[in-house]
Amino acid sequence: MIQNCEPIFRKFIDPQIRNTLLTDIVGFSGGALDSGDGEDLPPMALPVKSVSYLSESLKDCILKHLGYLPTSASTLSLLTVAGITYSVASKHSGNSCILLNLPSKTTSVPAQIEHIVQFASNNDISGVNTLVAVRRFKRLNNQSDPFSIYPLLQTQIWSRELGALELHPIGSIHCHFACSTMLWEGEQVMVMVSLSRVRPDFLSFQSS
């Protein structure tokens, strides 16, 4: 009977249907099947391509982040972590907009994923490091934020300009955000809405 009901349950979690319930299920099963850290990263195949095919800006970024340039690396267009798919901006711009938790800050900052890079770990030849190369959105200089009086909605205005390329570990990704643009005090600004499933009972964003 259970076997016969498989199509019903398969339809229940139809990946073509997008809703909160489904992402809850996928997120839960992703965490449950994982060995413990809740991340279902792609297969850990050692990168075999030479880093020479990477763009100069990415190579500079890796060099700055690691202090050395790995001999081989590979790039991914998407990555699934705990049931949520993150993509590079050229693949899916909506899936590339992320909020980053930075060790130097107590708040999340919006950024866009440009590359997802994998390379062999320097001290563990069997291990693979996966990092995201992102550009952070810049803060606005003088504008007042009309959303600041509604902190529970986790919405803020930011500049549409992006900063320099920088590398971060996968664990720095907090969540996705939705964004649109609007004219505010004479300037086109980016409106960022956090899609975190957790609403803090205090304001946890970098104030713009």
Partner 1 sequence: MDGIRGDIVNTLRPSWLTSVPPEFGSASYGKLKADQWRVLGTTFLPVSLVRLWSVVEVGNPRSERCRQILDVTMSLLSAVAIACSRVTSKKHAELYSSNMHSYLSGLKGLFPEYSFRPNHHMALHLRDYLLLYGPVHSWWTFPFERLIGILQRISTNYKIGRFSNFFYSSI
How many residues touch partner 1 under the rule CB under 8 A: the total is: 40
User: How many other C-beta atoms lie within 10 A of the C-beta of residue 157?
Assistant: 23
Which of 44-52, 124-132, 134-142, 181-189 is the region at the interface with partner 1 (rule: CB under 8 A)?
A: 181-189
Among 69-77, 122-130, 132-140, 197-205, the segment contacting partner 1 (CB under 8 A): 197-205
Window 61-120: residues binding partner 1 (CB under 8 A):
84-85, 92-95, 97
Tell me the closest approach of the beta carbon of residue 200 to partner 1, in angstroms. Answer: 8
> What is the spatial distance between Cα 167 and Cα 117, in angstroms, rounded to a whole number?
9
Residue 16 as a binder of partner 1 (CB under 8 A): the answer is no
Q: Which of 21, 44, 63, 164 binds partner 1 (CB under 8 A)?
A: 21
176 counts as binding partner 1 under rule CB under 8 A: yes
For the chain, the straight-line distance linking the first and the last C-alpha, in angstroms and rounded, comes to 57
Looking at 47, 100, 179, 205, which residue binds partner 1 (CB under 8 A)? 179
Residue found by looking up tokens 């999340």 in the block: 108
Task: Specify the amino acid at residue 58.
Answer: L
Q: What are phi and psi of 24, to 5 degrees?
A: -60, -45
| Four-residue CA torsion sign, 49, 102, 37, 89 | negative
- Residue 22 in 3-state DSSP? helix
DSSP label of 49 = S
DSSP 5-69: THHHHHHHT-TTS--HHHHHHHHHHHHHHSSSSS--PPP-PPP-SBGGGS-HHHHHHHHHHHSS-
CB of 157 to partner 1, least distance (A): 9
Q: Report the residue from 108, 130, 155, 172 that binds partner 1 according to the rule CB under 8 A.
A: 155
Single-letter amino acid, residue 149? I
Nearer to partner 1, 14 or 56 (CB): 14
Q: Judged by CB under 8 A, does residue 150 bind partner 1?
A: yes
**For binding to partner 1 (CB under 8 A), which residues are involved?**
4, 7-8, 11-12, 18-24, 84-85, 92-95, 97, 146-147, 150, 152-155, 176, 178-182, 184, 191, 193, 195, 197-199, 201
